[in-house]
A and B are shown apart, each in its own frame.
Chain A
Amino acid sequence: MNSFLIVLKRDLKLAFRRWSELANPLLFFMIVTALFPLALSPTADELRTIGTGILWIAALLSSLLSLDSLFRADADDGSLEQLILSPAPLGIVVLAKVTAHWIASGVPLVGLVPVVALSFYLPVDALTVLVAALVLATPTISILVALGAALTVSLKSGGSVIGLLILPLCSPLLIFGTRATDLAVHGEATAGPLYLLASLAVLAVSLGPVAIGAALKVGME
């Protein structure tokens, strides 16, 4: 537990010192969501219908942008090696890093999305569910993104292949997340997909660090 907090503190410190890196994915999210109405010229009703999907896809894509900051810098300056060699269990270290990533990137996103959702004419009552769904989905996204980063950590430029790896794995999140939001927009019960998102999050957070740690060790060989 101790090592978890130590690594978490360090990574949060680093994240906020590189705050411009934090801002980029959020700006990307704003730009992508702005492009859709430009391209589609939807009416208010249409926008309300497709808005959910646009929000979730934009959120997913912008999460991919924050990939590199997870492990690449550590690999390049040798601190990843030291983390692997330290007496702290690698799974805990990984969990701490992913948590820091989630706090620094996922949480701001959760704050930003409802604002954009309002601009898409989504009813205010649906926003609580949207936030809940995002809070449940973003940890899984962070884990999957971390996995992609770990698998490609030793490559010079992992960027292009990572999307191909991670996005198919994110499809259940997309399905359940948009479904929960849509149900909320129509005022129906949303427990089902929210529970499913929660169970995916539990699965990801418990098993993910093992796979991520293994990938990091192989990458550093």
Chain B
Amino acid sequence: MQQPVPVLEARNIDIWRGGRCLIRGLSFSVGGGQLALVVGPNGAGKTSLLRVLAGLAPYGSGQVLWNGIAVPRLAPEQRADFVYRGHLDGLKKELTVEENLSFSAALRGQAAVFDSLLTTLNLNDVADRETRFLSAGQRRRVGLAALKLANARLWLLDEPMTNLDAAGRALVTGWVDEHLRGGGIAVVATHQPEELARPGTTLVEL
């Protein structure tokens, strides 16, 4: 049986922050294999939008639907489809890289197999060090490993290129491409849309 094509849809949503309405009546939709880039100046609400899509923040009106179900009403198991990587790395500083990744994978019910990932990300040297000893760039890359391990269909990424060097950014671009080719969806907030844009990309301008 063929798996139905996944689709994330925002219908006429309002987004508020700090008592102000940042975004009014936003609508867009991304399906399997598609990319949406969220662009706009600082403070325009890119992070707020991504958090709303992830279900972390409520929306003022309208709906955000994942495969037809409103995001706040998703059952816990259905959240396995999403992965959200925001500005914070989500790593415990007292745990080693390996411990952090094992936990992240196990919590999402995924296999904690990451040896090749660590090699690709150039993290083999620090694999057994507590993450508080890592540089910002290295922590970012651990976050990327967690992203890959999550094995999710929808990627919600808030400025994933931050703190990454050229090699790291190329890696992200490659992974997004690979993810999309595999039928996944990605919504990425970025200041450099040129790096990721390809034909068929939805541009959400705030």
Taking beta carbons and an 8 Å cutoff, which residues of A are in contact with B?
3, 6-7, 10, 13-14, 17-18, 73-74, 76-79, 81-90, 220-221
Contact = CB atoms under 8 A, between A and B. Distances in A.
A10 B95 contact: yes
A87 B58 contact: no
A82 B76 CA distance: 13
A14 B95 contact: yes
B142 interface: no
Interface in B55-73: 55-58
A82 B104 contact: yes
B129 interface: no
A73 B103 CA distance: 17
Given A17-B94, A85-B82, A6 B107 contact: yes
A85 B56 contact: yes
B97 interface: no
A221 B58 contact: yes
B99 A13 contact: yes
27 contacts: A10-B103, A13-B94, A17-B94, A76-B88, A77-B88, A77-B89, A77-B91, A77-B92, A77-B93, A78-B89, A79-B90, A81-B56, A81-B86, A81-B88, A82-B104, A83-B107, A85-B54, A85-B56, A85-B82, A85-B83, A86-B76, A86-B107, A87-B79, A87-B80, A87-B109, A88-B76, A221-B56
Contacts of A79: 90-92
A22 to B, nearest CB: 13
Contacts of B84: 81-82, 85
Which of the listed residues B56, B57, B58, B83 has the most CB atoms from chain A within 10 Å of its own CB? B56
Nearest to A220: B56
B86 A87 contact: no
Contacts of B103: 6, 10
A19 to B, nearest CB: 11
Nearest to A87: B80
Nearest to A5: B106
Interface in B12-62: 54-58
B125 interface: no
A219 to B, nearest CB: 11
A3 B93 contact: no
Contact of A18 (B55, B77, B94, B106): B94
B108 interface: yes
A14 B96 CA distance: 11
Contacts of B90: 77-79, 81-82
B44 to A, nearest CB: 19
